[in-house]
Structure 1
Amino acid sequence: MESDVMLKKFRPDIISNLQEMIRIRSVEAPPLEGKPFGDGVDQALRLALETSSSLGLRAVNRNGMIGYAEYGSGKEMVAVLAHLDVVPEGKGWTYPPFGAEIHDGRIYGRGTTDDKGPAVAAIWALKFLADENHRLSKRIRIIFGTNEESGFRGIKWYAENEEIPVAGFTPDIHEGIVFAEKGALHIQMDIQVNQGDKIVLDDFRSGEAVNIVPDLAEAVFAGEASELDKWAQTLEREKGSLSLGGEVIREEDRLIVRAKGKAAHASLPEKGLNAIAELCHLLGRSPHPGVFNTLSKLFLDPAFGKELGIE
């Protein structure tokens, strides 16, 4: 049977399979027995393997660390590297992030393109090859990653304990076949916070994962009431400089300052707006800039880090 005929025949099943996968919130969570990356990731892995097995593929679960589905025979193996974990959903969704709803011919949900959609497509493509009884010179193995978004521990474990392919690719981006992936640099900066005795930084928080451009940043200050009042008035005037807006909230014993950004995957930072940089720019304008003046200068180009020397 021709591949396009098979695709048409099984299209409803493929879509249903993908929807079922998207509805699983497979964000890394604290480990459980036999579930090193939490229950959600384990559910997604089990669904991928159960689907593969039901379609006639050889499916293997390696203690929840990783799994794979395989077709064919031969001494050598070619790998398709997909992953089933997703980054936290964040806010601002038009449709439920784990609803897998279909609108205007599109499925909406976290992981639809990165990378549950490609993983499900690979499973069914391998099923088509098996149904057509192709005689391949090498085995094809779909490796289901479980920790790609937050450390690659699953695939590192695989490399140390399982068969290494002679070739492979990952269907994890829009540009086609990928044979290599750029690395990531996680930097910890220790900068002295010295706001003086009248105003002190009490808390600063932003972001849900290291590979997401944060869409909200918040700083909390404590200190003398009169000084907090003055600073709140100054920041209220200056917050118009924020690209997407923010808030200045004066409470009984503290001052809360928030800046909005636009979330994006860290591989495409130019598509987002870093809320941390936005907040630092605002606070760096204040009468009590301190550390934020330094950070503001370092984050003049938050997308590519020119001022950090890592361009």
Structure 2
Amino acid sequence: MERNEIEAFLTLSEELHFGRTAERLRVSTAHVSKTIKGLERQVGVALFERTSRKVALTPVGRQLCEELRPAYEQVRRSVRNAELAGRGIQGTVRVGYFGSAGGRYLLEVAERFEARHPECAVRITELQLSDGANRLRSGEVDAMLCCFPMREPDMTIGPPLISEAKMLAVPAGHILAHRPALSLEDLADAAMIQNPPQLPAYFDEFHHPRKTPSGRPIRPGPTAATFQEILALVGAGKGVYLTTEQAPLFYLRPDVTFIPVTDAPPLQFGLGWLNTGLTTRVQAFAHTASATATATRF
């Protein structure tokens, strides 16, 4: 099948009117009719039922349309992406992150990306824990640096780019504050500050379990919406919180002590975007992020 035959067939299957199809394709009605008749001779069966009052797909025509349209749309997207690649990446890519460590990493990625694609700017936005993925779904950002695990059905999650050991933020005067290292069993001796409910339950359980490995309960503490609120509650003696090893570099406070937790799973981060949001810009930024993570030690 030639491209003009595919376009005529798919357009007529939408319009079910030869005149409107001709207008959309900017050809004559006779040309559309001739193209469809030639296509029907090629496949050996009628694809449309024609009467003086209406045009309708035959069962074979309907099946061909259902099978042909997705492939044709994919070809159009591929051609469009090739055209954009030929012209270079342009416009703006908006990327969100949680925490200062993620922001520092994205700034390095953005510097490399803009050097490689000078006609495309990167806009980096800090997100709060209470945002969850809502600002991605609302279209405010094109991609976000996600903390794993992230198993949202409407999102595509790239490979891990950063991996960091965990530390426990505890009140400076807490009984655990003078220990050189802790284990997850020690969490039973303190209340755990709770993440906002916008975060997925599976994510919260993975990083802030309700029980220690031996089954001892971990008491829930108050809920906070942002990391600054979490640290304020920790400093006030309201509980403890599992966080990243880079937290002391960016959030050092006299009322909070950070202690390594040797048996906690690491914090891993990677880029995520909506399944419908993989633009050429996002794809190029993801490639740059991967190359940056490979070249940088965190």
- TM-score scaled to structure 1, two decimals? 0.24
Larger Rg: 2
Say which structure is richer in helix.
2
